[in-house]
Structure 1
Amino acid sequence: MQEKKVENPANKTPKKTNLLDHNSIKHILDESVTEIVTSKGYPEDVRMSNIRLLIGAIIIVIALFAQFYNKKFPENQDFLIGCIVLYVLFNGILQLIINTKEKNAILFTYPPPDSFNSTGLVVTSKMPRFSDMYTLTIASADPKSISAKPSVEFTKSVTKWFTKDGVLVEGFFWKDVEGLINDYAKESKKSK
């Protein structure tokens, strides 16, 4: 009789990073946070990413039209000026979205399907350069909603989650992030 093997997160290939590379550490932690939050029943909301991709595609099409327009320079001057104006305009819109809506967000979610809450989560992270302190914040995706909850955050040293070889100890990190998600859920019960 054969036994079925259930995949355990502890049996996965360990996530390893270069401990001297700040961006690599933050990237591996952000990816893990995304896995943890989505595994807790929060489906990912990719609308903002799709909008950014659409605007990026429009910018590329404008640049291609400007580059490959079939008339030579003096004849296509008005067309090129129009393309430059559109290129700058759409790049400005893209930067406005990134700087106002996204900020440091690594994940937008919908509310869990079985929840009475009508807002999802915005998960943000910060890790200042030349620092080992990682800040993770969970907030409501719609702070003006009646069902919005107060945001929760923690700041901890990444040395608590990595071995000397740069392997992420997922159990410790998973426990800390789950604790933050649970704190966020408790905040709603306290506020009622």
Structure 2
Amino acid sequence: MPTLPGISCTCTPVTRYACGHCYHDQCLDCGFCTIGGCVCHCEHGLGFHPSDNPAAGPTFWLGAHHPRWLATVGLPLMVSRRSLADRRSVPRAAEAWVLDSGGFTELSLNGRDQHEVAMRILKVTEEAGEVASAYIGMTGQNPRKGVTHTIEDVQGELCDVILTAAVALASLSDDPAGVFDAKIRKVTERAEATR
């Protein structure tokens, strides 16, 4: 295998950056090449160098379900956190890579059993109680405590109820937006019929 001038590494081309340098010369923080005129992309804290050509377009990250691909595939990779969970170390990457949090997978695999759904529904009731408490505090209805809340506190608690109810609805439906939209239409039709 021929080497580049001044480089004695004999790694195969697939383990090299597009610039031709070996992945052994990468920055361990951002994964980019640090040899010669190549610039470590993390020094600017941007994920890219200010002189990068924006006309080059977006970077497409190839999903890699085998962590060993980091060391052998010379393409930008996205590696799932789940695939790295049992590893003691991560192989040195041949190209830039990002960590996929696996959040969508975690939500898909967890959180829809009967207990989780029940807890989310009960949480709506808890949040509604916090709205009542904030309203009582705003109006000073408890003579021992007096005025303890503002209208902004009540508004914030109402938003918490809405968000919590949306999460509970999403736990019970594969199409929560469709269910909500149908309910809005039904209430609107009922309201218009009573005019």
Q: Provide the TM-score with structure 2 as the length reference.
A: 0.23
| Higher normalized strand content (fraction of residues) | 1
Structure showing greater radius of gyration is: 2
TM-score (norm: length of structure 1): 0.24
